[in-house]
Amino acid sequence: MYSMSKQYEVIKATTRPLEVEVGGKRMPFDNRFNAFRVKDPGVADAIRQKYDRDVTVTAISTETKVNKKLHPNRIVSPGMPWHKYDELGRIMREE
């Protein structure tokens, strides 16, 4: 059970040192990829307007889990009626 969420990836498009600051909050770039992600479209638009030629802002869709309790590995099916079980709930094998 997955849901698509929209995020905005801010990619550094220059080789010179750059620090992005929007609304008094500093947003550092990841050293490996020179990018970071933002969930708020207003913040992404403000970054796009303020740092026009220094960064590229791209909208991306990401998958997120809706309910972690319904994971397929946690679903237990009931016993089959044609199996015979012992007192501990284990299947008795016929030989």
How far apart, in whole angstroms, are the C-alpha atoms of residue 27 and residue 8? 13
Return the higher-pLDDT residue of 68 and 15. 15
pLDDT, one tens digit per residue, over 16-35 is 888 898 888 898 888 888 89
In this structure, which amino acid lies at residue 60? I
How far apart, in whole angstroms, are the C-alpha atoms of residue 14 and residue 51? 11
Return the higher-pLDDT residue of 94 and 7. 7
Helix/strand/coil for 67: coil
pLDDT of residue 93: 78
pLDDT, one tens digit per residue, over 35-81 is 999 999 999 999 999 998 899 999 998 877 665 555 566 556 666 66
pLDDT of residue 83: 73
In sequence order, what E strands does the chain have? 2-12, 20-22, 25-27, 35-38, 55-65
